[in-house]
Structure formats: C-alpha cells, structure tokens
Structure 1
Amino acid sequence: MGVTEQLHDELNAISGSQHTAVTINSTARAGNDFLVLPRRYTKDTAIAGFLIDREDLLRETLDVFDGQVDTIYVDIEQKKEISLFQTAKQMLQHSRLEALKPNDMAVEACDMLIRQQFGDDVENRRIVIIGTGNLASKITLRLSERQARVYMLGRSRTKEQNVIDGLNTFVPAYSAPVRSFSELPDDGQPAAAVIAFIIGQFQEEARLLPYIGPETFLVDGGINNFSGQLIQQLTARGLTVTRLDVRLGLPYQLMAADNYITEFFRDVFGKTEISGITLVAGGFIGEAGSVIVDSITRPGQIVGIADGKGGVKRHEHLTAADEEAIRTIRDAFSVSL
C-alpha cells in the first residue's frame, strides 16, 4: 500500500470521533522515511500517528490532514536535517499546530510504567539504566528522585562517569547518588528493573545476567535494545520483558489542550484592576500593594498583599491602604483571607 493510501486509511479510521488529531514524529535512526504508528485514543479524541523523515512525505501528510483534524502535533526535536515543525508552521492553514516533544513523552511513559509495575514505590529498589543519552539520563534522574538506587551502564566508561557526575549535581541531597553499574553490589540481590534507552542492540548482555532475578522487570525503551535470544531466554523463565509504548505518555502531550490548563490561563493567571485595586493571581508577580488572590476572574481567597519583590507582605507591615484594599476585595467577592 502506498503512502497516499495509508494516509487516507488513517484519516478514515479516526474520523467520527468527537475530536481528532495527528502526531508527526522524526527519529535519529536511519531507514524510516515513512511509518504509520499505532493509533491512540483518549475518552474523546482519536489520534493517528506517523514517523516521517522526508520533506515530500511530510508535505503530503500535512496536505491530507490540514483542516480534516482538529490538531496536528509536530515533533519540535530536530533529530535530522529536516525541520518538521518549521515546515508545518509554513504550511498549516486550518488545523491547530502544537509542538510535540517525543522525548518527554517517552520519559513520562517509562516513569508511569515503572510506577504501575511497582505500586508507585521504588524506594531503595535497585534499578539498572542502560545508556547515557537524553532519555537514559532523564529517567535516571526521575527514578533517583523517587528514591530508587540507580546504576547506569554506558558504552563509554568516560561518558558514563561524566553523565553520572552531572546527574549527581541535581539529585536531591538526601537521595542515594546515581552510581556506575560497576559499583552494583555483588551480593546476590537482583535488580528490580533493567531499563534500556540506547540506539541499537546492547552488546554486553552477559554482564546483566547475574543481576536478573525471577522478579526483575525489563524495559526495552529504545526498540530492539535486547536481543531476541535474551528475550526468548527470559520469557521462558517467566520474566516480564516490555517494549515501552509511548502512548502511556500521551496525557502529558495533550495537557496543553486540557480544560484545566486552558481554564487556568483564562480564569486564574493574570492581572486585573477592580475599583482601582490591582489583583494578581496564578503566580503573576504584582507591584507592591497588589492584592494576591487565588483566581483573577472568580476570587475565592485573598492570599495577601504583594511586596513588589515577588513575595507577600507580613501582616505587621501592611499599610492602611493595604488593609482598605483587602476589605474592598473581600466585600466585593465575599472571599476569605
């Protein structure tokens, strides 16, 4: 089936849903000019997905879906010479364009997968991360913040140590530091999880075997990071080996269009003036004397009076004008303090 037919098949498949969208990704890998990805569904949105690495195929895809779907999410991470997002900005006339961050989606998906697997509790669990790149580093930091004991295994010992040193400058003060796989204790205790985020197949699988026990959870985050032989061997032993499905991270990508987010910027965040009194909310830093409230359109609580430096005046520092401003807003909206 040709590209044109595949595009129209996907359009037909998602048509009829309350909301429709398309994701267009790129990849650093070679050999994938065009690939149809698994469809994704939320409670009211159907999403078709494509991996595209050629300008002509990108333009054809945008032509087919522009105006036929509500939103087109386009990869902002430029992994090759082609800039998907720049082309989409130039071409799209009808559908809403949103920047897509696949790496962040992958991290969110992996984090959610691990949380689900371990009942949202990885404290003191040993987790091996294979890789020292973007995704491996991000999930390492995330799991370390969740109090896991994380050990990184890279192809280059020098880069491995440099990444570990860098990550340990961010790790919370009372979390266990990130360590090298070579420091993993040889005490017979297996790793709780092994997560791979590399390009291509990991070539040192024999090093992993002593740390893989009956309950070890393996995640192939980079696609084909584990050999077929290892997967066959482990699944025969009853172990769970999972290829990361980034659809788990879809809510993160859709968050910008979520009602809570749109309502926050519409109703909560900002600055306004009522009866000559300046109101600020949602983190908006106001000048000294501004009344800080919980919502710019429907105040229900007065937080305090801005000191003009990003903080809130202490009660004993309030002026008569500050007290009057509080009374005026409290009476106008029947809000609490």
Structure 2
Amino acid sequence: MKIESLYTQIDKEIDSLENPEKSIIFLNNTSKKRKNFFILPRRKALNYKSVGFFIGNEVICENVCKYIDGKAKYVLVDTENKQNFNLFSIAKKNISKSQVIPFKPNDVTVESCDLLVRHLFEEDIQGKKVLIFGSGNLASKMALRLAERQAEVVVWARNQEKAPTIVDALNYILPKYNDTKIKLFHEDENGFDLMISFLSAENVIGANFFNYLKKEGTVIDGGINNFSKDFIEVALNNGVSFIRLDTRIAFHYALMSLNLETFHFFDNVFGTREIEQIRCVAGGILGKQGDVIVDQIKHPTQVIGVANGLGGVKHECELTDEERRKISTIWKYILQSNKKNL
C-alpha cells in the first residue's frame, strides 16, 4: 500500500472532525496479524468526536504520526505493546503539535464487556454460570470481574499448562469471603447462562461447545471471530443471543483524562494550600501531622478533620487545643467565604 493512498484515507476521516478543540485521533494496534493499516469506526462521546487508525508496522506508524501531527487536538495512542514495535514511543517522537495521550484499549474492552453483561442480566449476575474462553489479559480480567460480582466462573483455555496457574492466581486475588472460586473447564460441565470469548485465534470454538449452553443462553464474542461457522449457525438457529462485543459501549472510559470532572478535580479539589496561615490538604494528599483536611482545596466547604501524619484522621479525643483552634479558624473562613458568594 502506497503512503499517498493512506494520506487520502486519513484526510477523509479527519474532515469529519468538525470542532478542532474537541477532536481526537486514535492510533491502535492488536496482537492479531492483520493488515498494516485500516480505518477504525468513528466515535463520539462527552462532546468529543474521534477517528481512528489501526497501525500494523513501524514504517507506516512513523509516516502516519508525522502526517496527523496538528490535525487534531489530541492523539490517543495504544500503549500496550502487542507487536514488535512501540507505537507510543514512535508517536511521542514524531508528534509535537497535537497532545499525545497514552490509553489502554484492553481496559476499554473489559469495561465494555462488563457493562454489556450487566445490561443483559439487568445488574444481577450473582449465581449465573459463565464460561470464559481464554486465559490471557482480557479473559483473566473478565473472569476476575465476574467472579467478584459473584458469578460462577469457569475458564477454558487452549494452553492447558498455563491455565491452572492463571486460575490459581485469580483465586488468590479474589476477596477472602467470595462465595465462589474460579474453576477450570471440565467436560462434565453444563448449563452455562453465558459464554464469553477472548481468544487471539479465529474459528477455535466449535459447535460441540453449544451443548454446554442453556437453551436461552447468551454468547459474547470478545476476541472477534473466535467461534466457528458451525457454532454460530447452531446458536442462531436455536434462538441464542449472539453478540460481538462493541467497545463503543465504554468509549467514554478512554476519555476520562479529558473529562471536565477530571479537570475539576485536579484544578479545584486536589492539592495543598495555606488558609489563614494554616496548612490545608485535600483530594487524597497525605497531610503532615496537624494539617487540616478539607473537602476541596480551592473553595472548601467542609472540614474533614486533622491529619495524623500517617494517612489517617485524628480522633476527636486526640486533638490538641492548637488543632481545635485550626479547625475553628478554617470553619470561620468557610462561613465567611460562603457569605461573600451569596
């Protein structure tokens, strides 16, 4: 594919970005062997519009990064090294006019799958039997997530040597009093309410697995094309709900760093400041012993307490006279500030 033809495709996509201040370009990669370049679906969330490009090799990556520089406010770059070149490092080196922001597509995928499952089961996954195909990053994260939601999770993996170690590790991570433990798949299993696939290979799950699914069960193809043609035909002919995971469900998750609420937190809530010559902290800042903790640093409305210097708040009975004076002074400041704002 000639570079010039790529530029034509890129220009067509970028032309769809109407507001330069709310424009995003995504650069993605995958562990699957695909084309060296293709256009990803356009997306819209939180008043941002985005276009996306799949990048499959280093040379194309360098050329695309140079070409798109300055053509969108933000460039969000896949930071998960899935192939033998570092997409994020190349982007940082070749993009200077647009702001380069790292993002993790796997996290967006997991959030999308979780939201989809919660929607399908109307927020009640407890006790449901789930078969997850895969033992890699996405499959493991989803297995843990659903087990924490008290689903009965069973894992099937192609790598029979690695799978027991993964399942054991996940069970160690689960809360101590979790009702169920994640299990490895056995052929005597049946009655699954839900099947989720996160395999890197295509057409792996044959029609024989359909027999393990409940009559009105649901199938989510998260790895895309993981299920064989025979499985899909049998599933659809038997009224099974078969869904290919669409990560647009949690697209807004990738934009959290650009969200006004996030900006508000760091601009108004998070930080340290002296008020009436008293050191105050907010937003999770670990205060020194005697610092006054407030709800937000720029315009406080509440005194949380006095820091004990160890990440906690002093109990009322531990407060010195000086610390009580500090609390009183900050409360007076807050009340006076409120009067001025009225």
Scaled to the shorter chain, the TM-score interval is over 0.9
Unmatched runs of 5 consecutive residues or more in structure 2: 337-342
Separation (CA, whole Å) in 2 of partners of 1:17 and 1:96: 12
Is the contact between residue 168 and residue 178 of structure 1 (CA under 8 Å) also seen in structure 2?
yes
3-state SS in 2 of match to 1:107 = helix
* Offset at residue 204 of structure 1 (A): 5.0
Is the contact between residue 18 and residue 44 of structure 1 (CA under 8 Å) also seen in structure 2?
no
* Offset at residue 293 of structure 1 (A): 0.7
My pick for the range that moved more, 43-52 or 198-207, is: 198-207
Tell me the amino acid that sits aligned with residue 333 of structure 1. Answer: I
1:100–1:43 CA distance, 2 compared to 1 (3 A) = closer
* Offset at residue 156 of structure 1 (A): 2.4
Matched residue, 1:137: 140
Matched residue, 2:326: 325
Matched residue, 1:32: 35
3-state SS in 2 of match to 1:331 = helix
Partner deviation per Cα, 1:20-58 (whole Å, 9 max, x = no partner): 111101111223211111111125211101110222322
Matched residue, 1:164: 167
Structure 2 counterparts to residues 267-278 of structure 1, below 5 A: 267-278=268-279
Matched residue, 1:262: 263
1:75 and 2:78 are equivalent in the alignment: yes
Matched residue, 1:284: 285
Is the contact between residue 115 and residue 121 of structure 1 (CA under 8 Å) also seen in structure 2?
yes
Is the contact between residue 192 and residue 214 of structure 2 (CA under 8 Å) also seen in structure 1?
yes
* Offset at residue 65 of structure 1 (A): 2.4
Separation (CA, whole Å) in 1 of partners of 2:61 and 2:169: 37
Pick from 82, 91, 94 the counterpart of residue 94 of structure 2: 91
Pick from 153, 165, 173 the counterpart of residue 150 of structure 1: 153
1:16–1:310 CA distance, 2 compared to 1 (3 A) = closer
My pick for the range that moved more, 153-162 or 121-130, is: 153-162
Matched residue, 1:125: 128
Tell me the amino acid that sits aligned with residue 324 of structure 2. Answer: E
3-state SS in 1 of match to 2:209 = helix
Q: TM-score, normalised by structure 1?
A: 0.94
* Offset at residue 229 of structure 1 (A): 2.1
C-alpha RMSD of matched pairs (Å): 1.7
Question: Number of paired residues?
Answer: 332
* Offset at residue 91 of structure 1 (A): 1.5
Is the contact between residue 205 and residue 228 of structure 2 (CA under 8 Å) also seen in structure 1?
no
Separation (CA, whole Å) in 1 of partners of 2:187 and 2:334: 61
Separation (CA, whole Å) in 2 of partners of 1:311 and 1:84: 41
* Offset at residue 207 of structure 1 (A): 4.6
Matched residue, 2:66: 63
Matched residue, 2:339: none
Is the contact between residue 134 and residue 157 of structure 2 (CA under 8 Å) also seen in structure 1?
yes
Is the contact between residue 53 and residue 82 of structure 1 (CA under 8 Å) also seen in structure 2?
no
* Offset at residue 90 of structure 1 (A): 1.2
3-state SS in 1 of match to 2:125 = coil
Structure 2 counterparts to residues 96-245 of structure 1, below 5 A: 96-175=99-178, 176-182=180-186, 185-186=189-190, 190-201=191-202, 203-245=204-246
Is the contact between residue 130 and residue 153 of structure 2 (CA under 8 Å) also seen in structure 1?
yes
Separation (CA, whole Å) in 2 of partners of 1:18 and 1:31: 32
Matched residue, 1:13: 16
3-state SS in 2 of match to 1:72 = strand
My pick for the range that moved more, 25-34 or 295-304, is: 25-34
Q: TM-score, normalised by structure 2?
A: 0.93
Separation (CA, whole Å) in 1 of partners of 2:149 and 2:184: 18
* Offset at residue 237 of structure 1 (A): 1.7
* Offset at residue 84 of structure 1 (A): 1.1
Tell me the amino acid that sits aligned with residue 315 of structure 1. Answer: E
My pick for the range that moved more, 79-88 or 123-132, is: 79-88
Separation (CA, whole Å) in 2 of partners of 1:239 and 1:270: 52
My pick for the range that moved more, 55-64 or 94-103, is: 55-64
